Structure 1
Amino acid sequence: MLRSRALVLLAAAMGVLSAPQITQRDMAKPTDTEVLQFAITLEQIENAFYHEGLDKLDAKAFEAAGYPPWVRARFEQIKEHEATHVAFLASALGPAAPQPCTYNFPYNDPKSFAALSMALETVGASAYIGAAQLLENKDTLTEAASILGVESRQAGWVASAVLKGSAWDGPFETPLSMDGVFSIASQFIVSCPESNPKLMVDTLPKLAIEPGSPHNGESVKFKFDHKEVKHDGQLFVAWFDGIFVQYSDLSQDDTASVPDGVQGTVYAAVVNEKAGTPTAQKLLTGLAMFEISFPSYAGNP
């Protein structure tokens, strides 16, 4: 239940926070430096989140929320991991490293902090998987994979040990494109230094869904600005779950049904074509992120 609340909380944040002030550049295949600039931007979000959250929420706050002492202690370790990731990427980038931005995180107690942590770690892992194909230098790829492994472990720990849900969604993690990841991560950014390098991303129209935590087979209402999504033909909803993509026709009243078989953390976006893989799909909107819970005795799809 708490894990589902995490993504409902994230969806609410995406509808409330204003668009970040981040400069974009013309689109082309990113260089390794540009991929690392994107990676450190995500790591800076996580780093700021843990430092701010653990400064605000002391041991007594976690105890009052019903958590044993080791939960906050593990979050302190994650905070150190994220700070190390930022320092490592900053060292690799040198003068090309972007500076931290100003952020806004929607949590007010240890439980909502833990829920948002799970969402951030899950998106972070998907970002590294999706960006792996863009890296040319194999040493850089290995280093990114090492960070990916930690992000995934952290997401699994928060989801299972803290939120009492499942540590995984299925046999595959979900790779996401830089644009898709940024449509989620950017919602926590208020503003950035004007001196920061331009990110290799395309800012996508916001997407909201109703209900915020649907079930398999349920009809979902998709809310987005049609003026920003200029396409006259048939639109589809792409459902990202692991390395596979399923599609539903988007009806004239902007509804579509959740496919059978998707479970755990699922992402959805409006598209106008059916690409074979998640990272090959051109998104017309940002991603909606939600949770389809499944019990421990359920089989993987």
Structure 2
Amino acid sequence: MPFTNFYAAGLLALTLVGNACAVPVVSEAATSVFSEPTNLPSPYAISHHNVTSHGPYNGPPATTTGALSTSVLAPSIAPAPAPPQILQYQPDGKLHADQPMPFTPSGGIGTNGSLPLYKVASDFDYQSLALALYHEWIELDLFHWGLATFSDEEFDSFGINAEDRHLIQHMADQEIGHASVIANMLGASAPKQCTYNYPVSNVQEFVDFNQKLTRWAEAGVYGFLPHLDSGPAAAMLLQSITVEARQQMSFRQFGGQFPMPEWHTPGIPQSWAWTLLAPYISSCPADETRLVWQNFPTLHILNQPNPARINGADVWNETTWGPANSLSTKDITPDESCVNGTGTDTANSSMDCTAAIAQNRSIPLSYPGRQVFLHWDAPGQLVGPNNSYVTTTNVAEPRFAAWLSQLNVTYTPLLNVSLAERTAYTVQPNVSTWKGDPAVNGTMFMALTDTDLFVTPYNVTMINPHVAALAVYQAG
């Protein structure tokens, strides 16, 4: 049964309510009816363990394949007018209705005094938070795995010292709390820890994969957070995802990249986040909750900018496997590695990429007008836990590259398209969100589409029926 905790004058202690008995989140010093401090026990964190098996899935074929599904009502959701109350409201700085209590304007969602229940309220909520929990579990394991796999000397040689490693350990501990919050809101059927396969062979690749994973995990939550039916669940998740954003920035700093070159962090659809995550999950428990989200084919960026190089834009086929397109150091000679870069250019920008609070790199990773060469997988690939999900797309012929970053989805035409080879190239656009803020920047996302559908940050999911393949693009 769910917990409800009341203290003096009917104050409600923060309570997580799932489908099963949930752990209440309480303050360490609540006020009792006698107005005396009461020391309350800390809630138990979710049960977790160190994953001992890593690598690709080698088990038997899955008996159930594909995304969770019921009856599908339509191939896409038809556009509809904006809500009339938003069109009618006049933003003139005046109050237009009676105030519900002093110093409080009318309006808002969940502001009428109703009891907040910290649980999912719809299939949309459940499937979105379950996806977020899959991300928390892999981050908990990945951070621990890297610290256990690579020696102190290997970290030190890359400029990541003992204090930095303690921060990575602390970030792993943060995932325990994130997973606990989400699992309690989901209840007994919440996804459990899995085993994983990482495209990583050294510290530099470990850091880069982390900064990409934490970016799409962060962006994946930003995409669905405003749409949750449960406002209380959104409020809880918001407090976790703000920490996730700080983790992503820290890993960029560990990789010698400028911590936050973009002015706005984009949100992506859930199916994008699941597409990017699933290939790195090897196997899950037999009773693991399945997800409804689509797995798109992987888009390989053949000249993906490589932050490990002094000239990261001058590169060809230097990524590890999977849709993250994370960097590979395999073919970089010592004199080409930015870890060994010394000196500055005439603008006093650095040529090295050792860990630092900020690195103003001499040579940009990408730039407007850059030709970006692409290859995409055919649909029908088995991916994800136990190879039990299947990549799908409705697109027969992609025609555009969609660049999703900073309040924008910008389309550029695909050129020299070969459907037989599944190859093409496009040109990085010269577009700004605001004057002085290049829209294509940072760790961002690229999709191939069959149309240049107009979407905005709030309804970007409408692009999904038109997506042929998906990748992370390292623009800066």
Q: Structure 2 matches for 1:170-189, cutoff 5 A?
A: 170-189=262-281
1:264 pairs with 2:356: no
Question: What's 2:92 paired with?
Answer: none
2: CA distance, partners of 1:71 / 1:257: 38
Report deviation, 1:111.
2.5
* TM-score in terms of structure 1 length: 0.83
Higher relative contact order (CA 8 A, sep 6+): 1
1:275 pairs with 2:454: yes
Relative to its length, the structure with more helix (as a share) is 1
Q: Secondary structure at the match of 1:285?
A: strand
Range 67-76 or range 225-234, more displaced:
225-234
Question: What's 1:297 paired with?
Answer: none
Question: What's 1:194 paired with?
Answer: 286
1: CA distance, partners of 2:198 / 2:377: 24
2: CA distance, partners of 1:32 / 1:150: 21
Q: Structure 2 matches for 1:1-301, cutoff 5 A?
A: 23-26=66-69, 30-160=123-253, 162-213=254-305, 215=366, 216-225=368-377, 229=393, 231=395, 235-253=399-417, 254-260=424-430, 261=438, 262-273=440-451, 274-277=453-456, 278-282=460-464, 283-293=466-476
149 and 67 in structure 1: CA distance in 2 versus 1, 3 angstrom threshold: same
Report deviation, 1:143.
1.0
Report deviation, 1:38.
1.0
Unmatched runs of 5 consecutive residues or more in structure 2:
1-54, 73-121, 306-312, 314-365, 380-391, 418-423, 431-437
User: What whole-Å deviation, never above 9, does each CA across 1:196-228 have from its counterpart, x for those lacking one?
Assistant: 122020111111122122632122222124566
1: CA distance, partners of 2:237 / 2:217: 11
1: CA distance, partners of 2:400 / 2:160: 43
Report deviation, 1:33.
1.7
* TM-score in terms of structure 2 length: 0.54
- Tell me if structure 1 keeps the 8 A contact 2:395–2:449: no
Report deviation, 1:153.
1.0
33 and 124 in structure 1: CA distance in 2 versus 1, 3 angstrom threshold: same
- Tell me if structure 1 keeps the 8 A contact 2:299–2:376: yes
2: CA distance, partners of 1:157 / 1:32: 29
Letter in 1 for 2:140: N
- Tell me if structure 2 keeps the 8 A contact 1:30–1:134: no
Report deviation, 1:140.
0.6
Report deviation, 1:173.
0.3
212 and 139 in structure 1: CA distance in 2 versus 1, 3 angstrom threshold: same
2: CA distance, partners of 1:237 / 1:165: 25
58 and 221 in structure 1: CA distance in 2 versus 1, 3 angstrom threshold: closer
State the percentage of identical aligned residues.
21
- Tell me if structure 2 keeps the 8 A contact 1:207–1:222: yes
Q: RMSD across aligned C-alpha pairs, in angstroms?
A: 2.6
Unmatched runs of 5 consecutive residues or more in structure 1:
1-15, 294-301
Range 136-145 or range 92-101, more displaced:
92-101
231 and 199 in structure 1: CA distance in 2 versus 1, 3 angstrom threshold: closer
